[in-house]
Structure 1
Amino acid sequence: MHIDETGKGVSKIGKHGTEDLVWDDIRAFLAVARAGTLSGAVQQMEVGIATVSRRIERLEAAVGHPLFARHQSGYRLTEDGAALIPRAEEMEASALALTSGLGRDTAVSGVVRLATAENLATGLILPALGRLRADYPLLSLEIVTDVATVNLHRRDADIALRMVKPDRGNVSLQRLGRLGFGLYGAPAYMATRPAPADASRFDQDALIGWTDAYAHLPAAQWVERVLKGRAPALATTSLATQLTACATGLGLAILPHFLARPRGLVCLDGDLGLDQTIWLVTHSDLLQTRRVRAVADFLRALVEDRRGDLSG
């Protein structure tokens, strides 16, 4: 990238190699790509919607391809738009490095889309999110909890904290810790529970399990084995529902230690063989962007601080 006579960054990355792209157009492109809407981009750039729209149209004319598919719900990257993202972010990184070198403030800003499990979002990340907001007030975080449908390689998210290790895609992996699980019951349930002759048997227990759509989960398979053909007392589609059901005394449930213990639940077995690795997954093209690094550092520190609670 070089700086033109107006002081705006330009770079020859057009389709034909001859179009000078204005840096403000690239900024608008990245803002819309991250926000998904013109109004969201406006909030990041502090310019009018007409200005952002004009810059996107100018950039599309320069590269010779539509970069977004316009939908009623917002803007979605086309294949050409997605291909342009890494190169545009290289320009962004160069611009940030330049202003940093000039000693000017390069505050972390923009939108980071984080994919994670519902239980990690509500029980781990959200209670500590004030720390991230205090350090980076210009940073906006989007948390996506339907992780089963999120693909970082497709750029559905920028970064993820999850228990399933991706086996493909242009991503970087880091093992942060372990999420421990145990079999828990409420004190009220335990007070009336028939004492089994064998502590490892649960023939007379009410068990809370998962619906058939989640039968592939290790916890669901464990419950299925223990039930031996019996129906569960309750089957749900979320861990949050199981936690509440267990706390109200409806039966035994397999729960993460860090969620069950603060609720005063009693652990019958803390070594079920169901513990999971916590992975930090980052799109490789975004590893060096300041906003994603800030979120990654926050997540690493958070898991480290809560390591004992998470592993149990």
Structure 2
Amino acid sequence: MATIVITDIAWPSPAIETGLAHAARHEILLAESDEHLLALAPQADAILTCFRRVPGEVLDAAERCLTVARYGVGVDNIDVARATDLGILVSNVPEFCTEEVADHTLALTLATLRNLVPAVDATRGGGWMPQTQSPPRRLRGLVFGVIGFGATGRAVAERAAAFGFEVVVSSRALAAEPAAVPPTVARVLDRDDLLRVADVVSLHVPLNAQTRHLIGAGQLAQMKDGALLINVGRGGLVDTEALRPELESGRLRVALDVTDPEPLPADHWLRSSPAAIVTPHVAFASDGSLVELATKATSNALAVLAGRRPSSIVNPEVLTSGISRSNPQ
């Protein structure tokens, strides 16, 4: 019997994980805090993680651990380099929530440009006319900029085009292969040109050393007056404090499903900014996506424990390094 340690979950219970683990005659332990995770690490044959950080300190303590499986696409909360050094396979669940994140991106866009939040607040407060500085925007003809054109960026472009936006994209892959540009995309631009022409800028790139603070004061200054910045990727893509003067002046608006820090402190200025819509990192969630996520992430961990390859390997070099703790076939 092996032990699978779950660092955290974003749903009511680990029922799916427990059922799959028990069927394979393994046990599940759920960490309640960072300190508890570190204490449980020596018992872990596998680690399942959602948002909690799995730093080198935890991996060093997890001397039996064969694999770390991420609930999700990005692995910026896992010290992948240290896991690789230790011969620990890291897996993820790519594209499980492409449709949900794309839908959420357009929902944030529509809610902002149609001034839905002030309208709802007005009626809930007993009034009728929302207090806003400007009327809702007509969508057709506005320029929707997509930075990053993986599966989610492509799905967002399709939806934006359907609403009548002119879609422009910043993507090195598309720039290098013009024949691959889909009909939903009007133009492929470099990032700076996109920032200057777009009425909406939506971020769909992973967070790493090169993309941290991809949008800072300099990039915000390039954006059009009245433009909307959307981030449903990772909070660290945007320099949060650089947003403050742009939002307080009313020059820009933001719609964020992810923030830096995350979660925001209860008294953080961004929570009460009238120029911001902030949702609590829920773009990935739906009744279907959560079941798929829990099932696939757990199955990845169970595969390694059974000596099989997981469906997606983040650090495949472990398999050829000669130091892998597992030998999946």
Q: Taking structure 1 as the reference length, what is the TM-score of the superposition?
A: 0.29
Determine which structure has more spread, i.e. the larger CA radius of gyration. Answer: 1
Q: Taking structure 2 as the reference length, what is the TM-score of the superposition?
A: 0.28
Instruction: Identify, as 1 or 2, the structure richer in helix.
Output: 1
Instruction: Identify, as 1 or 2, the structure richer in strand.
Output: 1
